[in-house]
Structure 1
Amino acid sequence: MTEFAPHRARKRFGQNFLHDHGVINRILRAVHAKPDQHLVEIGPGQGAITEGLLDSGARLDVIELDKDLHPLLMARFGLNPQFALHRGDALKFDFASLVNSDEKLRIVGNLPYNISTPLMFHLLQQSDCIEDMHFMLQKEVVQRLAAQAGDNHYGRLGIMVQYHCRVEYLFDVGPGAFNPPPKVDSSIVRLIPHAQPPHPADDPACLEQLVRAAFSQRRKTLRNTLKGLLDSDAISAEGIDPVLRPEQIDLAGFVRLANRLARQRN
């Protein structure tokens, strides 16, 4: 068997390698992969979770940007017919290209903080072919994903992800579970795309624009942040007080405002 020198985690890739077997097993139990499923792991690193995912008998594609990890991953898993390595950037990857017939993908990943938000939005654009997603993220990001109106962490990220997915905050992971230990706590989250959004937007692009504008100055009132999109009368017509701040408005309220904006434009 080929021997490889220990791989040093690279800051430019945001690498922190998971090594705590208790945490690894807890993640694998949360994913609960089955032999007839098709999984995709983003950033497998040294294969801490990869091995357990393959042990389930599921088909597994992994996407790894760090070319120095490719020979290590191929040496460990390359002979398994259920394993396939894709060399490249997950932010540019066409996940739909992996789908056969009517199957759906299950996505798993320990995501670096610097790409977590754009990568989630990239995946949401392809959510028709995704069954669920299990991610390890910085704890603060998971708090933002799961936050409800009125919470300190409530904002654009949570609203837009909750529009597309059910968000389940699973558990926290301390820095000691990684090598090198990060300076922040991490958390595991499960995202399950809605078959139909609970509050459908007539034009999701209008919703995105309106939520972005609303939170551009989050301490100001809707009347001020939505100026140029909706006036006070239009906001009031949707049963929302225009002197409220954006963090006081729930997803359903933002969808009502976005639908009014879409009607005005048409």
Structure 2
Amino acid sequence: MTSAHRPRKRFGQNFLHDRGSLERMLAAIDPQPGQALVEIGPGQGALTWDLLSRLGRLEVIELDRDLCARLETERSRHPGELIIHSGDALKTDFCALEQPPPLRVVGNLPYNISTPLLFHLLGQAGCIRDMHFLLQKEVVERMAAAPGGKDYGRLSVMLQMLCEVEPLFTVGPGAFRPPPKVDSAFVRLTPLPTPRYAIDPERFAGRVRLAFAQRRKTLRNNLKGVIDAAQLEAAGIDPGRRAETLTLEEFARLSMLPSLQDG
């Protein structure tokens, strides 16, 4: 029998053990034989072996080498092909994994890397069919937030421009070992065939980053030196507004304005 693994704080490890929550996650993912699926952070395999039994083949990415060794030891007891990548998901080229795209991506993501990992995956959305993640509930609320509230920010705008965002259900702290101090939520992200509005993705990402650079400042101040007030007014956007009040369509318009630096 494999000895117990001590969760490591530096890796943000909170292992899901509640069977009811795992069954709900599996039902939402609905893995089918032949689908290309990759699990980020399989940990002790709570979800991994169920996924593998349904798919027949599964790739996993795990940063903790002790857990990789544990998975290697245990996989002989489970039918199917488990491909283990020992490495950092933040540095992984998902489009170059062994299984051909489109990929399905799942994971119980550590809170400390969830936002940068979501941005990393957005950059590779062209080879991803869908993503299912267990995240801090507060992050999921930001992902799905509507304009005008404190939860609406850069993450909301970037994800909603490129994906359907569907919060599915909440999971309490008691479902994990050790229990985190906050609630978690399971969310589905489905990349859209094309962005919701006509944009240049790189330019759009840069303008959204600038607009939210300092949340309490107006667009006039945050975009100073890049876009002036006259340009904003010509595009029908009041330069005295804050970024959190803009709709996706307005951000698309903002991103299409020429930069003062281009001249």
Structure 1 length-normalised TM: 0.93
Residue 220 (structure 2) pairs with residue 236 (structure 1): no
Which stretch shifts more, 31-40 or 64-73? 64-73
Is contact 2:33-2:55 (8 Å) kept?
A: yes
Show the 5 A alignment for 1:15-34. 15-34=13-32
The corresponding residue for 1:256 is 253
Tell me, in whole angstroms, the C-alpha distance in 2 between the residues paired with 1:44 and 1:59.
Answer: 14
Which stretch shifts more, 174-183 or 160-169? 160-169
Q: Tell me the number of residue pairs that the alignment of Structure 1 and Structure 2 aligns.
A: 262
Tell me, in whole angstroms, the C-alpha distance in 1 between the residues paired with 2:125 and 2:203.
Answer: 19
Tell me, in whole angstroms, the C-alpha distance in 2 between the residues paired with 1:23 and 1:7.
Answer: 21
1:99, distance to aligned residue in structure 2 (A): 5.3
1:54, distance to aligned residue in structure 2 (A): 1.3
What one-letter code is carried by the residue in structure 2 that aligns with 1:44?
P
Call closer, same or farther: CA 1:58–1:238 in 2, change over 3 Å: farther
Tell me, in whole angstroms, the C-alpha distance in 2 between the residues paired with 1:146 and 1:261.
Answer: 29
Question: What secondary structure does 1:23 align onto?
Answer: helix
The corresponding residue for 2:90 is 91
Tell me, in whole angstroms, the C-alpha distance in 1 between the residues paired with 2:149 and 2:184.
Answer: 19
1:76, distance to aligned residue in structure 2 (A): 2.4
The corresponding residue for 1:208 is 205
Tell me, in whole angstroms, the C-alpha distance in 2 between the residues paired with 1:117 and 1:58.
Answer: 30
Is contact 1:206-1:262 (8 Å) kept?
A: no
1:205, distance to aligned residue in structure 2 (A): 2.1
Which stretch shifts more, 205-214 or 243-252? 205-214
Call closer, same or farther: CA 1:240–1:58 in 2, change over 3 Å: farther
Residue 173 (structure 2) pairs with residue 167 (structure 1): no
Once the two structures are superposed, residues 69-113 of structure 1 have per-residue CA deviations (whole angstroms, 9 ceiling, x without a partner) of: 122212222463421111111111121112555x41100011111
Show the 5 A alignment for 1:10-89. 10-78=8-76, 80-89=79-88
Is contact 1:210-1:229 (8 Å) kept?
A: no
Structure 2 length-normalised TM: 0.94
The corresponding residue for 1:135 is 133
Tell me, in whole angstroms, the C-alpha distance in 2 between the residues paired with 1:173 and 1:150.
Answer: 27
Residue 217 (structure 2) pairs with residue 220 (structure 1): yes
What one-letter code is carried by the residue in structure 2 that aligns with 1:9?
P
What one-letter code is carried by the residue in structure 2 that aligns with 1:62?
V
Tell me, in whole angstroms, the C-alpha distance in 1 between the residues paired with 2:28 and 2:99.
Answer: 25
Tell me, in whole angstroms, the C-alpha distance in 1 between the residues paired with 2:254 and 2:62.
Answer: 40
Q: What RMSD, in angstroms, separates the aligned Cα atoms of the two structures?
A: 1.7
Question: What secondary structure does 2:39 align onto?
Answer: strand
Once the two structures are superposed, residues 222-259 of structure 1 have per-residue CA deviations (whole angstroms, 9 ceiling, x without a partner) of: 12221111111111111111111111101110110111
What one-letter code is carried by the residue in structure 1 that aligns with 2:14?
N
Q: Which residue, 166, 178, 185 being the options, matches 1:180? A: 178
1:262, distance to aligned residue in structure 2 (A): 5.8
Is contact 2:53-2:80 (8 Å) kept?
A: no
Which stretch shifts more, 105-114 or 235-244? 235-244
Which runs of no fewer than 5 residues in structure 1 stay unpaired?
Answer: none
Once the two structures are superposed, residues 13-53 of structure 1 have per-residue CA deviations (whole angstroms, 9 ceiling, x without a partner) of: 00000000000000000100000201100000001111211
Tell me, in whole angstroms, the C-alpha distance in 1 between the residues paired with 2:252 and 2:129.
Answer: 24
Question: What secondary structure does 1:144 align onto?
Answer: helix
Tell me, in whole angstroms, the C-alpha distance in 2 between the residues paired with 1:29 and 1:176.
Answer: 21
Tell me, in whole angstroms, the C-alpha distance in 2 between the residues paired with 1:250 and 1:265.
Answer: 26
- Work out the percentage of aligned pairs sharing the same amino acid: 55
